[in-house]
Structure formats: C-alpha cells, structure tokens
Chain A
C-alpha cells in the first residue's frame, strides 16, 4: 500500500502501540511511588517560558508642568501573559542596589504617577501601549524625585500545584526634577588596599544635594595615580576610569575599582576625581599607598641568592 493511505495506517499503528505502551509503563513504575511518605507531584502546567519587553522605558522627566507619555509592553513569549504595573519610591543603597524608601523620604514620588491601564492580558507576540501622567502636588520640594516602575508578568493560566510558579518583573527607575535644585559637591573619601599583584580602591561618595549626581559616559569618575617616588620600575602617572554609576539625592554610594597591573614596587598618591556636572563643582579625595609585590620579590630574591651562592661556591673551589 503506497501513498497517503499508507501514511495514515502508519500513524494509526503508532498511536495504537503508544496507547498500549502507556499502561505497561505505568504498571512498571517504581515501588517508591506507592510509598505514602513520598510526595506525588502533578505534571506542570502551563509549559513554556515567560518573556516581556518594555520599550521605551520612561526615564527622566525634567521641568515639565504636566508630564505624560506612553510606554509599550510586548509579550515576547509563547504564553498568554498577565501584566501588572506598579510604582514604588526607591533609594539606592551604598552598593547601588535599589531598596524601598522609608515613609518619610523627602524625594519620593511614586504617588504622583498614574499608569493606564495597570492590569491587562496579552496573547503571545502582541503588544500594548500604556499611557502615564505625573501629577506633581503643589509645594513638592525642589530637586530630583526618584521612583521605580515595576511591570510584573505572570502566565495568564494558573500553574498546577506542586511547582514553583515563576513571576517575571521588569523594573525601571523614574526620575522627576522640580526646579530649584540645590547643587552641592559630594563628600568623598578614598581608601587603597594594596594586595598581591593588585590594588583595590574603595571610594565613598555622599550626596548632600537634592539632585542626582550621574557619572555615565561623560563625565566619568576617575582615579588619578601619581608616583611620589619615581623610579625606573614604576608608572609615573596613570588614570583609571571607573564604571558608570550615579548617586541619588540624600544618598551615599560606595564605588570599587581594582588596579590590576601595578609595578613590583611603587609609592603612589591616588586621587578620586568626580568631575563637575551642571552647577555642581568638581570634587576630589586622595590617599597615599605603597605597593610591593612580595611573592615576586621573594622569588627574585631567592634566584639572586641562589646565583650568589653558586658564584661564592665556585670562587671557594677556585681558591682551594
């Protein structure tokens, strides 16, 4: 038998074989399944992965009387997804991580934001625009007001019991500036920790102003190195560029950087430089340190000692 009919018979035969095989497999399942102390877990539903895209993200809204805009949310998964939008006040901790702001935080603004709609479901591969407005209350203090919008994404169909249900969240910072900024140079400290083959720098930056101090692509914060005892084996000058960061109003931030290729021996002054931004002046802090790569020096010393010993031994033998 050839042609389409043969194909249908083959499919039917496979289905029949599978139908017969399933009860056989079930009967042959391990005895532990019958043990009442063990926990049966149902099959997972729904199968699939979560995925979402937020673009454009609402970022900085400055000096606008009644700001409003649109952000778009895409369901980039193969599941129907439920989207929920919320806004929270936030602070950056000293390590740069976002954390909930205390209730008395003067620069919070979450309550000012209105997103419409805040809850909706999207089929796979579709998108939806969400409008937002910012209603600044009269008498709000001047400066930068920080918040974060969170888009929570879950499978629209509830999962079965016996599993850990996943929730996906896209979080983005919001910043609104009210005119009347009080720019102040940040307070800085810098510490250097020379270790084997590297020097770890730790800078602490305290922003007493009411605006965000941002050191992104331009200007960038740097650590300037100058040798205080120049010699042939040391770098006389070096500039280390720090990774991007910013410090929120009334917040502090710790930044770290490692100098990975210091000389074997060197005496240095390191200066953390935060360039001026807008009307905020440039500020700096420095520290001095000595770098000595003891393991390498020990090996060199051992080699020199060995060579010296060989030379001395040969001389003694020659004299003898």
Chain B
C-alpha cells in the first residue's frame, strides 16, 4: 500500500465529519483533510536584561501563535529549567512565572494573572483550546523572573514551549 493511501485512509478515519455531499442521481464526493499543527512567535532566547539585582522582577513578553486543524484542539505548555552559572550558582526554576495577558476567545487558561513554576520537572499549562482560528490563535505570554539573592554571574537556562494536539 502506498504511503499516500495510508495517510489518506488515516485522515478519513479521523475526520469522520469531513466535507461530504450526496445529491440524488450524482456520485458522492469525499475529501480527507489531514490535521496539522504549528507554533510560532517563540523568541529564540528570552532575555531578562542586564545588571539585575536580587528583588528585580524583569519580564520578557512575547506573542505566540498556535494553529491547528485537529478536531480536539490543542494545549500549550512550558517546561522551565533551573538557571545555572559557570561558577556553579543556581536560580531555581520556581523563580520564574508565566502570565497569559491576552489570548484568543475560547482559550482556557489558569494563568490570566500568573502561573508560578513549581519545579524544573513540572510543566506549566498555559492553556487549552478546542480547535484554533484559521489564521491561528495569538497568545500573549509574559515570562517573569524574580531575581533571587544568588552569587553574581551569568545564568543560563532553557524554556521548552510545547504545542500538543489533544
């Protein structure tokens, strides 16, 4: 069986509500539309600025866009690592929080004000939505770092933003 045939069969199975038309005396036309998902607008690096001191709360807002044709919708999560310095200092992941300041209608979020990061192994669910707008859903995300009292140095970390079909 050719790959295209398998994919088409799979799409037909999933998209049971695929556009279909039946008129007396004519043949039935069916088309399978495969699901897709995209995520864009994630800054390659999130910078909290320079010369920060303990107690500072710098933010680095950006707008992500999620587009999917999946019937069940999507979720957007973020997993944040601890930040470390070359001298061995650590800023715990829990010093970071995320807020969703605005999002597409229907985007369900518990982070309208702020979602703190529990630890480096627990992702923050920024929100979920059943299907997306055709042009994509714009989601304004504001990461915030509460700079703790740590040894001076240059700290680096990772934030993994995941868009998942449901």
Contact = CB atoms under 8 A, between A and B. Distances in A.
A220 to B, nearest CB: 11
Interface in A54-86: 54-62, 64, 67-70, 74, 76-77, 79
Interface in B39-90: 39-53, 62, 65, 67, 70-73, 75, 80, 83, 86
B6 A41 contact: no
B31 interface: no
Contact of B165 (A41, A49, A57, A131): A57
A67 B6 contact: yes
B7 interface: yes
B16 A218 contact: yes
Contacts of B125: 97
A245 B72 contact: yes
B39 A173 contact: no
A168 B163 CA distance: 8
A105 to B, nearest CB: 19
Interface in A166-221: 166-173, 216-218
Contacts of B11: 56, 59
B3 A69 contact: yes
Contacts of B160: 152, 166-169
Contacts of A162: 47, 154-156
Interface stretch (A9-17, A29-37, A112-120): A29-37
Contacts of A166: 42-46, 158-161
B154 A41 contact: yes
B10 A61 contact: yes
Given A164-B83, A170-B39, A244 B71 contact: yes
A131 B72 CA distance: 25
Q: Which of A37, A38, A164, A165 has the most CB of B within 10 A?
A: A164
A62 B9 CA distance: 9
B159 A163 contact: no
B71 A217 contact: yes
A173 B164 CA distance: 8
B40 A51 contact: yes
A55 B36 contact: yes
A170 B152 contact: no
Given A57-B165, A64-B1, A163-B45, A170 B38 contact: yes
B154 A165 contact: no
A216 B155 CA distance: 46
B35 interface: yes
A18 to B, nearest CB: 21
A131 B2 CA distance: 12
A69 B154 contact: no
A165 B155 contact: no
Contact of B46 (A36, A163, A243): A163
A38 B53 contact: yes
Interface stretch (A153-161, A267-275, A282-290, A307-315): A153-161
B35 A169 contact: no
B23 interface: no
B13 interface: yes
Given A57-B34, A244-B71, A36 B152 contact: yes
Interface of A: 30, 32-33, 36-42, 44-62, 64, 67-70, 74, 76-77, 79, 96-98, 131, 148, 150, 152, 155, 159-173, 216-218, 243-246
Interface of B: 1, 3-4, 6-7, 9-11, 13-14, 16-17, 34-53, 62, 65, 67, 70-73, 75, 80, 83, 86, 125, 130, 143, 152-166
Given A41-B47, A50-B43, A163-B48, 12 more contacts: A30-B51, A37-B152, A50-B44, A51-B40, A58-B10, A59-B11, A61-B10, A160-B45, A163-B45, A167-B161, A168-B162, A170-B162
Closest 8 CB pairs of A and B: A51-B40, A56-B34, A55-B36, A53-B38, A171-B164, A169-B162, A163-B45, A164-B46
16 contacts: A38-B152, A39-B153, A42-B154, A48-B43, A49-B40, A51-B65, A57-B34, A59-B10, A77-B40, A98-B164, A148-B164, A163-B45, A164-B143, A164-B158, A165-B156, A171-B164
